[in-house]
Structure 1
């Protein structure tokens, strides 16, 4: 193991403990650290000793820039230049702040893949009602059914002061994403030479407390509703995926349906979970790769390794710029490194190891989760032989005017076959992302799929 400084969280009871059973909520005294020594969402308020990570001072103010008619935010850091660039030639100098996946990418693409490292800015924040919910969750929310579900949970971030790896992962799954969002975005699965056919999606995500018929007194088991319509190319246009994501997927498995426009037929889709192939991904992503990780955690044992300081994708305004074409981003082997931005941040490192007797194409996964947002920023995936197979990057862009830490572009690289999948691009689109929408549950029923998928 390298000499990376492991920053133990003051309240982590056992950083090497694998989570096997439900854990109790923290005490009111412990929760009192939220907003004092810890940020309202549980990150360390202070910067690091070296001064390379600043203290959190509330995140970017809402008026840090402007949003244009197509929904693109101005970059508050547009004038900044990289402090340095990590390449295959100098990576040994920065090894302690790199992940195995980053090292593997630098070695595989020594002439084109690099990490431009910029000054670190802790830009993330959230609305006050999210902070309030997180503080209440800290003393009330518990895991049930062996950690596979939540009880007494509200809004977002059930465990702002996590005690084990599974609690950290639950924070990622439930993190605040604006409550609801509707967007048009583009996905590409380029061949090794960089050629690609863009796939266009209309996507909707609505958390349960944003549906008009949500009853707080009887919240049920659904965490959020998700719908994805393919609009191009023609061979895929009209296909729709619908998901009801449940809080406890062991007690009540994820409910999913697919509408196939060619057959004009709605059918249940239990394969859209775990390592089932994800539609329109050309085999480059399984179902629980989307959003860096999603779904039921029951097939893995989760180990909290600790905290590390890592160069992660952050404040990725440059990658989301409206003056870019998709061909400017999608390149052979990986996205255009010149358009990326990395910063040094503290992350929780969590390792997932497949339980004996369980099945998944990934026998081991390692997640690096940003302490300020609970977003998985980097993820490494190992096959049954212990070989590093795929590595993922989530390029976060803070929607500062709305106080949403938004996962914009995410890429999943196959280190073996040299292909990758990149999604979330919207550079050439004119329709802005819509946040704060309300919907009825009737809009997320199997019966509603046919009309949604009409070509």
Structure 2
């Protein structure tokens, strides 16, 4: 055997080895998506006692009316709670509650409660997104110890529908289908202990590379999305604009962020818009990576996959988004008004993130619970550096049946120590609900465009 033959054989062996490393799952495993499992990797069957039903395809696109402003009719408006969990009976349901929920009962024994309704597995996605999830299962792999992706391209979704570890579960949250590019207005509130608050009104846009006609070549394989957020009210904050280029590998290619300060009329790089930097206009009540329950680079944590469990989580929160409600009816002292919340029993993935020994973050540990049907994070318990449970996040999700996407009617972050909290994403009094299918040019998401946005 000559030298050239040996060299070719060695190269072939290395190629096969590289292929085996990069292949996320086998074709046989991928074939379980849409057959024995749902197209996104959840268990199709219900649970043993029938309190979680089998998945049968989700709600149809015609499940309810959509008004002229884009608000959805509640398909379950006539339902009543099966029971209500309070501080007095919480121990009876402890096995299906998080430590954070138990702590909220202790912190607000007279007012916090969890109304539990019948479970409906409403979620689905368009056929093209189902196909993209299966393609991801076959071709996407993690790099840099889970901090980035290879094989994930524009038009991809759900990086790991058959996850093998904790960080892959969280990547499914990052890469979930959100109805394609969108624009929306919403408020954020950080009430005082007595419930007094000043709403901060935002406008945000999130646009995906596959939907930008003049996408720069250098962004085609490196970005998850473009994101822009503008403060509209109150007057003292109005005109501040944040721009983020969310990258696929935030170790080799860190998140690119800029802020336009209306007072200074200057655009600056904003490395603080990441990790535990302060959240915009949040009065210190959240970090940058608290938005959307968790966002950004996962490289500062070690991720442990615990498995699945059944929990009472916010779900089908159509009432909480209703335009018939005023913000004052929702935002109360201590926590949002439980009269307008809805919880259901669902299976969730349980993942624990612990700060690496050589890294730092104000949250030393985070305990995540991620809905198996949508990969939306539903609950997060945040622990400080002393190991004390500090903040509890809840994502009040609903299924936008007309767009076949799941998203949050609101997300809350409760500070157990100060007695304050943050609620972000409320749209009840806005002139219209989320708009999908928006068009954008790459220039709209450049630092040069921020000054114009801030002065509009």
Give TM class, smaller chain.
over 0.9
Q: Does 1:117 align with 2:116?
A: yes
CA contact (8 A) 1:45 1:56 kept: yes
Tell me by how many angstroms 1:349 deviates.
0.3
CA distance in 2, matches of 1:432, 1:375: 20
Q: TM-score, normalised by structure 2?
A: 0.94
CA contact (8 A) 2:367 2:380 kept: yes
**1:14-413 alignment to 2 at 5 Å?**
24-154=23-153, 155-214=156-215, 219-413=220-414
Greater RCO, CA 8 A, separation 6+: 1
Larger Rg: 2
CA distance in 2, matches of 1:216, 1:347: 38
CA contact (8 A) 1:181 1:435 kept: yes
CA contact (8 A) 1:180 1:437 kept: yes
Tell me by how many angstroms 1:174 deviates.
0.8
CA distance in 2, matches of 1:163, 1:217: 31
CA contact (8 A) 2:208 2:226 kept: yes
CA contact (8 A) 1:394 1:411 kept: yes
Tell me by how many angstroms 1:219 deviates.
2.5
Report SS of the residue matched to 2:274: coil
CA distance in 2, matches of 1:432, 1:216: 33
CA distance in 1, matches of 2:358, 2:289: 19
Tell me by how many angstroms 1:100 deviates.
0.4
Gaps of 5+ in 2: 1-20
CA contact (8 A) 1:318 1:339 kept: yes
* 1:14 paired residue number: none
Tell me by how many angstroms 1:36 deviates.
1.0
* 1:429 paired residue number: 430
Tell me by how many angstroms 1:437 deviates.
1.8
CA contact (8 A) 1:39 1:45 kept: yes
Report SS of the residue matched to 1:186: strand
Q: Number of aligned pairs?
A: 434
CA contact (8 A) 2:216 2:442 kept: no
* 2:5 paired residue number: none
CA distance in 1, matches of 2:208, 2:190: 29
CA contact (8 A) 1:179 1:209 kept: no
Structure 1 runs of 4+ aligned residues shifted over 2 Å read: 213-220
Tell me by how many angstroms 1:241 deviates.
0.6
Report SS of the residue matched to 1:267: strand
CA distance in 2, matches of 1:412, 1:267: 28
* 2:16 paired residue number: none
Bigger CA drift: 399-408 or 371-380?
Answer: 399-408
* 2:14 paired residue number: none
* 1:18 paired residue number: none
CA contact (8 A) 2:261 2:267 kept: yes
CA contact (8 A) 2:108 2:334 kept: yes
CA contact (8 A) 1:396 1:408 kept: yes
Tell me by how many angstroms 1:23 deviates.
7.3
CA contact (8 A) 1:70 1:429 kept: no
1 or 2, which has the higher helix percentage? 2
CA distance in 2, matches of 1:218, 1:105: 43
Bigger CA drift: 309-318 or 218-227?
Answer: 218-227
CA contact (8 A) 2:47 2:53 kept: yes
Measured against aligned partners, the alpha-carbon deviations of 1:176-214 in whole angstroms (never above 9, x if no partner) come to: 101111001011000000000001001101122121234
CA distance in 2, matches of 1:218, 1:93: 52
CA distance in 2, matches of 1:408, 1:163: 30
CA distance in 2, matches of 1:424, 1:401: 20
Measured against aligned partners, the alpha-carbon deviations of 1:67-115 in whole angstroms (never above 9, x if no partner) come to: 1111110000000000000000001110100000000001110110000
Tell me by how many angstroms 1:218 deviates.
7.7
CA contact (8 A) 1:69 1:432 kept: no
CA distance in 2, matches of 1:118, 1:210: 38
CA distance in 2, matches of 1:214, 1:179: 16
Tell me by how many angstroms 1:217 deviates.
11
Report SS of the residue matched to 1:235: coil
CA distance in 1, matches of 2:110, 2:371: 29
Aligned-pair RMSD on alpha carbons?
1.3
CA distance in 1, matches of 2:43, 2:218: 33
Report SS of the residue matched to 1:453: helix
Measured against aligned partners, the alpha-carbon deviations of 1:11-38 in whole angstroms (never above 9, x if no partner) come to: xxxxxxxxxxx87501000111101110
Measured against aligned partners, the alpha-carbon deviations of 1:155-180 in whole angstroms (never above 9, x if no partner) come to: 21011000000100000011110111
Report SS of the residue matched to 2:455: coil
